[in-house]
């Protein structure tokens, strides 16, 4: 887990933030949100909120109480306690999500498989950057839909021991996944003791929560497990073609979901996750790496950080590039920096994404790790320790002296950041000493090495057999 940034980028002033909040409350009070679940509507009715059909209206007191009730930081425990993470303090890196295709330097682009999913989990486990695993970095094309998520959970349990994320689903599948995670912990009562699993929840834009999202929210909130409330509206398509309007919409969607979670179980952990994308009007699609996406999201980051104090999540590896190239690096760097400068605690949809999240590249994942470390090093800011003013050192070296062999340099040179994949040596060494490889080729070799060193025995044979029984129930 990396330390929190030393400084932030705040795109708007306090007056605008306050108006965004007031506008959000006007939407919640007068327009409301639709909830497509009788059980969820029953929760709201029980607590005397106004409900008209599927439409729920929220008063300011209820919203304020929900914000106050949600924890400002919380721990997600791993099966290996060395990998526990705290969300709301430092910076935590989680998974990619949503890809249908797997892209490698050797084989190009093809539909993703369960073996690809397993390899990604092994790369996560051997990563010094990735803190949270599981979820849906790719959707395996070779697994039937009715057991796809269950197979993915099983493979994650086999290949990782870090904190776990699962996808939202209908109640039956959600309960199956929760059962499998408990089997991985070897404790059917684990959810009574600690937060050990999280789920990403995406509302239906605009201003709705669907049945699957609500069933997952109800099951997780009732167990005190973490929920990442993550609207993903597209400006001009499923949200206003306005940075402020999109910020208001997704803020209303998050706060409406937050109220439901806190009404079910006060203190249940929630992550505030603005994730809007700019519309790409040429195709009526979206541009996930557009600067306009982050102009909207940065308003929400600032609002949450300054007014609500909840843990924040951000998309962080967005690119429209179809292959691992300069465009992919440039767009990912922008997204990573904007997430850090906005004050994100969790970096999600991260590391390896290509083609508007439709594809995953293991080589890009490893280079994205370097991008993250590069940005994090910069965002820590310079040291301001007294010794770092170097007055005595400058006097010792004096005019015309050299620092290269000074004991101060020998003591501190490892503090300088160095890359993991980028080649910084001389052209002569690159040319003559066997380093005449592209970045993609170096990344491919690093992927191969990481996979060769990875383990697949993090799930005990008995637990694996029990998980298989859960899968077979759905076959």
Enter the tokens of residue 73: 């930081």
pLDDT in tens, 83-107: 999 999 999 999 999 999 999 999 9
Q: Please check whether residues 374 and 391 belong to one and the same domain.
A: no
- The pLDDT of residue 430 is 77
pLDDT in tens, 22-38: 999 999 999 999 999 99
Q: Per the domain annotation, does 438 fall within a domain? A: no
- The pLDDT of residue 433 is 60
- The pLDDT of residue 282 is 82
- The pLDDT of residue 51 is 98
Res 157 pLDDT > 90: yes
Q: Per the domain annotation, does 81 fall within a domain? A: yes
Stretch among 1-15, 204-218, 229-243, 256-270 having the lowest mean pLDDT: 1-15
Expressed as residue numbers, the domain containing 406 is 386-415
Q: Per the domain annotation, does 58 fall within a domain? A: no
- The pLDDT of residue 286 is 82
Q: Please check whether residues 260 and 390 belong to one and the same domain.
A: no
Q: Please check whether residues 400 and 291 belong to one and the same domain.
A: no
Q: Please check whether residues 128 and 205 belong to one and the same domain.
A: yes
Q: Please check whether residues 100 and 203 belong to one and the same domain.
A: yes
Q: Per the domain annotation, does 475 fall within a domain? A: no
Q: Please check whether residues 179 and 229 belong to one and the same domain.
A: yes
Q: Please check whether residues 340 and 272 belong to one and the same domain.
A: yes
**Number of domain units in the chain:** 2
Q: Please check whether residues 299 and 319 belong to one and the same domain.
A: yes
Residue of 150 and 6 predicted with greater confidence? 150
Q: Please check whether residues 360 and 375 belong to one and the same domain.
A: yes
Q: Please check whether residues 257 and 402 belong to one and the same domain.
A: no
Res 182 pLDDT > 90: yes
Res 18 pLDDT > 70: yes
pLDDT in tens, 273-283: 999 998 888 88
Q: Per the domain annotation, does 24 fall within a domain? A: no
Average pLDDT across the chain, whole number: 94
CATH number of the domain where residue 174 is located: 3.20.20.480
Give the residue-averaged pLDDT of 208-226: 97
- The pLDDT of residue 435 is 59
- The pLDDT of residue 438 is 85
pLDDT in tens, 237-283: 999 999 999 999 999 999 999 999 999 999 999 999 999 998 888 88
- Which residue is it, tokens 């077979």? 472
Q: Per the domain annotation, does 124 fall within a domain? A: yes
Give the confidence band of 434 by pLDDT, cuts at 50, 70, 90: low
Distances (CA, A) of 82 to 86, 157, 166, 182, 197: 12, 16, 21, 18, 16
pLDDT in tens, 367-409: 999 999 999 999 998 988 999 999 999 999 999 999 999 999 9
Residue of 65 and 385 predicted with greater confidence? 65
Report the percent of the chain where pLDDT is more than 70: 99
Q: Please check whether residues 277 and 393 belong to one and the same domain.
A: no
Q: Per the domain annotation, does 421 fall within a domain? A: no
Q: Please check whether residues 187 and 207 belong to one and the same domain.
A: yes
Res 221 pLDDT > 90: yes
Report the percent of the chain where pLDDT is more than 90: 86
- The pLDDT of residue 436 is 66
Q: Per the domain annotation, does 32 fall within a domain? A: no
């Amino acid at each position: 887990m990396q330390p929190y940034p030393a400084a932030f980028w705040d795109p708007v002033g306090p007056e605008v933030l306050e108006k965004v909040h007031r506008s959000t409350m006007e939407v919640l009070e007068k327009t409301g949100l639709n909830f497509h679940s009788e059980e969820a509507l029953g929760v709201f009715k029980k607590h005397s909120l106004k409900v008209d059909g599927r439409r729920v209206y929220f008063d300011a007191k209820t919203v304020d109480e929900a914000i106050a009730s949600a924890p400002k930081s919380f721990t997600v425990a791993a099966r290996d306690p060395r990998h526990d993470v705290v969300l709301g303090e430092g910076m935590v890196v989680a998974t990619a999500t949503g890809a249908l295709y797997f892209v490698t330097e050797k084989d190009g682009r093809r539909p993703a498989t369960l073996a690809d999913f397993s390899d990604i989990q092994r790369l996560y486990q051997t990563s010094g950057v990735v803190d949270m695993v599981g979820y849906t970095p790719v959707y395996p094309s070779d697994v039937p839909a009715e057991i796809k998520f269950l197979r993915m959970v099983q493979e994650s349990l086999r290949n990782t021991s870090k904190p776990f994320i699962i996808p939202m689903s209908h109640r039956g599948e959600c309960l199956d996944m929760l059962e499998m995670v408990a089997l991985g912990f070897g404790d059917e009562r684990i959810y009574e003791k600690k937060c050990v699993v999280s789920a990403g929840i995406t509302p239906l834009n605009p201003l709705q929560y669907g049945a699957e999202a609500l069933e997952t929210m109800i099951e997780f909130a009732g167990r005190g497990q973490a929920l990442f409330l993550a609207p993903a509206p597209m400006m001009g398509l499923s949200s206003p073609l306005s940075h402020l309007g999109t910020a208001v919409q997704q803020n209303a969607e998050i706060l409406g979901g937050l109220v439901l979670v806190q009404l079910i179980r006060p203190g249940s952990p929630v992550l505030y996750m603005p994730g809007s994308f700019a519309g790409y009007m040429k195709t009526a699609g979206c541009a996930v790496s557009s600067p306009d996406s982050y102009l909207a999201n940065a308003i929400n980051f600032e609002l949450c950080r300054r007014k609500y104090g909840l843990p924040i999540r951000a998309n962080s590896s967005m690119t429209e590039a179809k292959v691992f190239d300069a465009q992919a690096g440039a767009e990912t760097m922008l997204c990573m920096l904007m997430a850090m400068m906005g004050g994100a605690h969790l970096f999600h949809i991260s590391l390896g994404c290509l083609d508007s999240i439709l594809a995953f590249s293991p080589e890009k994942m490893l280079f994205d790790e370097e991008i993250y470390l590069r940005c994090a090093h910069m965002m820590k800011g310079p040291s301001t320790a007294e010794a770092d003013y170097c007055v005595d050192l400058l006097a010792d070296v004096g005019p015309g002296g050299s620092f290269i062999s000074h004991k101060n340099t020998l003591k501190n040179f490892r503090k300088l950041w160095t890359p993991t994949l980028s080649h910084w040596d001389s052209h002569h060494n690159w040319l003559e000493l066997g380093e005449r490889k592209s970045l993609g080729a170096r990344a491919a070799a690093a992927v191969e090495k990481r996979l060769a060193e990875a383990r697949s025995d993090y799930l005990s044979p008995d637990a694996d057999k029990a998980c298989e029984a859960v899968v077979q129930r759905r076959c």
